[in-house]
Structure 1
Amino acid sequence: MTTHPLHRLPRQWWPWHLSLLACTVVLGLHTSAGATERPKELPDTVAESALTLRGFGTLGLARSSSDQAEFVRDLSQPRGIANHWSGRIDSVIGLQANWQATQELELVGQVVSRYQYDGSRALEVMWGFAKWDIDGRLELRAGRLGADFLIGADSRLVGYSYLPVRPSVDYFGPLLFSYFDGVDASATLPVAGGLLRTKAYAGRSKEKGSAGGIVWDASDSTLKGLVFDYFNGPWQVRASTAQVRLSRDMPFDPLPHSLRAAGTALGIPQAIEAAQALAVGGTTSQFMTVGMVYDDGPLQIQGMVNTIHHQTGAFENSRAGYLMSAYRLGAVTPYVGYSWWKSKSKNLTTGLPHTGALIALNQGFDSIVRDSGSDQKTYTLGARWDIMPNMALKAQWDAVRGKPRSIFPYRAEKPGWNGRTDVLSLTLDFVF
């Protein structure tokens, strides 16, 4: 089963393209994006050694109505957009090569230039793996793979492959990891008149994150997970679970050291426990998700919910979900959506008296634990216009209605931030 996004791009669009992949398994085909089809009279050895080179990109502009916080696409971005037009968060360009070495073995490589943790757009190797299709039902891959935490998460950068301007920020925003180095295995079997696809994966992350000008090196974090997809007619149902064991602490020092010293000197164990709660390295985060997609003719409806549980006290646990509906009218597809993202405070305190030099310690600790707070809803209205084959123009309005404590989804928030903003976006998505 071909799982790389440029081999699952449709003639028009399919926001969730796994249904097409399932059909591919049933027919026993080894697809190569249409443009790479060869005449049937060519020898099999030529067909098996085909090399395909494709590209994708997004030219995007967006602005927020508020100058009190910067809106970002996801938490990997160090800065966002405010009340002026910018192409910072959505613009991306990528190139992908596929080599069908034999009938069973395919090699895939993908490089992307996007806005990343250090503010640069340096090329990243997003994918680089070998895929062994054993018999059309069992598939093994090894190398650099897309992080398939949430449905559609492994192709978030291929804007042409999904309906809206960007995947829901409330739902996908907390997902820092885009890829990992490791292995996965998937099997597809007929069950109850449909197809059941299961996948297990494991590996190590090689990515970094950034917030407030501070870089967090999350490389060497270990990932593992299970995915279950069921396809039956126009329906797709997914359930998945993933666990990440984080490798390194976030750069909070000297605060944890100062809390331990104050707690020891004053005989307040709670301060020592507060310092320990800020530890990130060695802790685990659990992601669980369930969702359904209905795709029949011009009508498309999709809904997802997830829950994220963090062992560390540096991040609040959260739940999120979204619902989107679209109806295609020729080349134009209007859509509406609703999403939400809410975290729960762990009510951590230092136990230190709020006097003298200890005030700074209390404020520093409170600031860290508040930074992961989210409590907002987003109403989305947009339209996609497929202006020509392999090119789509999108316009979208997101009305974010949150509370002042919802600062985790943003960057550079100011004291006057009230959690509310309107985001206007325009993108041109293309593949070539």
Structure 2
Amino acid sequence: MTRQRADILLRQAAGNFFAVATLLVQLLVAPQATANEESAFGLHGFGTLGAARTTGNQAEFVRDLSQPRGATDRWDARVDSVLGLQANWQLTPQLEAVIQATSRYRYDRTFTPEISWAFLKYDPNPQLSLRAGRLGTEFFMLADSRLVGYSYLPVRPPGDFFWYLPFYAIDGADLAVTVPVGEDVLRGKVYYGVSDANIPLADKQWKIDGSAMAGGYLDYQAGAWLFRLSYANIRFSHEMPIDDVLAAYLPPAQAAQASQYLTTANTRSHYYSLGAIYDSGPWLFQLMLNKIKQGSNIFQSSEGGYVLAGYRIAQVTPYLGYSWIHSDSRGNTLNPVVASIMADSHADQNTTILGARWDFAHNMAIKAQWDAIRGEPASIFPYRQERAAWTGKTDVFSVTMDFVF
């Protein structure tokens, strides 16, 4: 993508975003004038202005599966740039309304703003919290804040761990319970809802809107340590649009058999994860592990994780990390056409992460990062436009400015 094209896309995103922001202010600030003294309204925003490039053009690097195109050996502003606006309205001491709009590079190759959060939160007491509406997904630790770059130490959430989460929101409800354990805190949450997302394929989109999601987690806070054990699953509601491909390369009987073998509708994927975070004084440490069991033959089950450490030196925090992902190829592939489709979800690589964060002003940070990705040539998930010359190895250089207000 040329620099001129990137500038046009970012200008369009900013225009669309601020149009939505104006509407949100009109809708939510207007009632404030008649609210009682207990009401409180807050308007906050966040964003990332970023650019990334790789050392080759054999495959395009993306943030996750929700992006249809990515960065190559030319600087690209689409991968990491995000704008967000959030309004919080405290209706009563127990009841709060929250709405968040974001603009980012989407499955349809636009920066069209979307409502990412829109929920009511009811806290009848300090131990119990209930929410209903559009909620951020919490399949893995830190997953619900993936778009707020300022909240992350590195440029972006490590892809080897988060790539399999292209869904950012569910329409549903959750319930959280907090229990003191001496000086520590135990917190549990369960949730249920349906997805509103789509995943881009080569020239189509796979609709996963309406797919049911359910899960929960247990947090244990002990001083500077936070531990989380979580589980989630999604039951896909639609088939992946591959029938045209099967019909083009296989006889009708074999195409029908292959379509049934690769079905995604009504199959369920399971996500297990364990995380630990330490944040005290100059040190910050994160360790995450996951295991994903795929119910459809079209996907490969996988294991992944990352470790990340940072050390604050005044306003600068250098950090070093290592992440990995490995997926298991299935034995029965019916025929070469089916095998090729199934191979699209193969990932076997590791990434060394080296970077620095400079908090140069209040609520603003500049980050520079190098990702050294080393994998097999067959490791093509979730890259875009991979070519025959792809070796599985590339370096990604990223620069971002994150802010919140």
Q: TM over 0.5, yes or no?
A: yes
* Kept in 1: contact 2:322–2:351 (CA 8 A): yes
Residue of structure 1 aligned with 2:321, choices 306, 324, 337: 337
Whole-Å separation in 1 of the counterparts to 2:235 and 2:67 = 22
Cα deviation, 1:251-284, whole Å, max 9, x if unaligned, reads: 0013556868334xxxxxxx86543221001100
The within-5 A match list for 1:136-155 is 136-155=126-145
**Which residue of the partner structure matches residue 261 of structure 1?**
252
Counterpart of 1:250 in 2: which secondary structure? Answer: coil
* Kept in 1: contact 2:243–2:259 (CA 8 A): no
Superposition CA RMSD, Å: 1.5
Whole-Å separation in 2 of the counterparts to 1:381 and 1:176 = 25
Cα deviation, 1:202-256, whole Å, max 9, x if unaligned, reads: 0111111102222111100000001110000011110000010000000001355
**Which residue of the partner structure matches residue 148 of structure 2?**
158
Counterpart of 1:415 in 2: which secondary structure? Answer: coil
* Kept in 2: contact 1:274–1:349 (CA 8 A): no
Residue of structure 2 aligned with 1:364, choices 315, 337, 342: 337
Residue of structure 1 aligned with 2:381, choices 398, 401, 408: 408
Tell whether 2:84 aligns with 1:100.
no
Whole-Å separation in 2 of the counterparts to 1:248 and 1:421 = 34
**Which residue of the partner structure matches residue 392 of structure 1?**
365
Whole-Å separation in 2 of the counterparts to 1:72 and 1:205 = 21
**Which residue of the partner structure matches residue 128 of structure 1?**
118
The within-5 A match list for 1:417-428 is 417-428=390-401
Whole-Å separation in 1 of the counterparts to 2:188 and 2:79 = 33
Query: Which amino acid in 2 is paired with 1:316?
Result: Q
Decide which moves more: 287-296 or 138-147.
Answer: 287-296
Whole-Å separation in 2 of the counterparts to 1:327 and 1:197 = 28
Whole-Å separation in 1 of the counterparts to 2:382 and 2:182 = 41
**Which residue of the partner structure matches residue 332 of structure 2?**
348
Counterpart of 2:164 in 1: which secondary structure? Answer: coil
* Kept in 1: contact 2:370–2:398 (CA 8 A): yes
Residue of structure 2 aligned with 1:111, choices 96, 101, 110: 101
Whole-Å separation in 2 of the counterparts to 1:182 and 1:127 = 11
Whole-Å separation in 1 of the counterparts to 2:122 and 2:212 = 23
Whole-Å separation in 2 of the counterparts to 1:77 and 1:424 = 18
How many pairs are equivalent? 370
Whole-Å separation in 2 of the counterparts to 1:70 and 1:231 = 39
**Which residue of the partner structure matches residue 50 of structure 2?**
60
Tell whether 2:225 aligns with 1:241.
no
Query: Which amino acid in 2 is paired with 1:188?
Result: T
Whole-Å separation in 2 of the counterparts to 1:128 and 1:174 = 24
**Which residue of the partner structure matches residue 285 of structure 1?**
269
Cα deviation, 1:367-416, whole Å, max 9, x if unaligned, reads: 21000000000000000000000100000000000100110120000001
Counterpart of 1:411 in 2: which secondary structure? Answer: coil
**Which residue of the partner structure matches residue 376 of structure 1?**
349
**Which residue of the partner structure matches residue 221 of structure 2?**
231
Cα deviation, 1:176-197, whole Å, max 9, x if unaligned, reads: 1100100000000012531010
Counterpart of 1:70 in 2: which secondary structure? Answer: coil
Normalising by the residue count of structure 1, what TM-score does the alignment of the two structures yield? 0.83
Query: Which amino acid in 1 is paired with 2:298?
Result: A
* Kept in 1: contact 2:246–2:337 (CA 8 A): no
Cα deviation, 1:53-72, whole Å, max 9, x if unaligned, reads: 11111000110001100000
Whole-Å separation in 2 of the counterparts to 1:254 and 1:385 = 50
**Which residue of the partner structure matches residue 295 of structure 2?**
311
Whole-Å separation in 2 of the counterparts to 1:141 and 1:211 = 33
Unpaired runs of at least 5, structure 1: 1-43, 264-270, 351-361
Whole-Å separation in 1 of the counterparts to 2:204 and 2:388 = 20
Cα deviation, 1:147-166, whole Å, max 9, x if unaligned, reads: 00011100100111111100
Query: Which amino acid in 2 is paired with 1:343?
Result: S
**Which residue of the partner structure matches residue 194 of structure 1?**
184
Whole-Å separation in 2 of the counterparts to 1:220 and 1:374 = 27
* Kept in 2: contact 1:78–1:119 (CA 8 A): yes
Distance 1:273 1:262, change over 3 A: closer
Whole-Å separation in 1 of the counterparts to 2:145 and 2:250 = 42
Whole-Å separation in 1 of the counterparts to 2:245 and 2:383 = 23
Counterpart of 1:237 in 2: which secondary structure? Answer: strand
Counterpart of 1:410 in 2: which secondary structure? Answer: coil
* Kept in 2: contact 1:259–1:272 (CA 8 A): no
**Which residue of the partner structure matches residue 7 of structure 1?**
none
Residue of structure 1 aligned with 2:59, choices 66, 69, 73: 69
Decide which moves more: 274-283 or 153-162.
Answer: 274-283
CA shift for structure 1 position 134: 1.2
Whole-Å separation in 2 of the counterparts to 1:237 and 1:67 = 40
* Kept in 2: contact 1:255–1:365 (CA 8 A): no
Cα deviation, 1:70-113, whole Å, max 9, x if unaligned, reads: 00000100000000111011001011000000000000000000
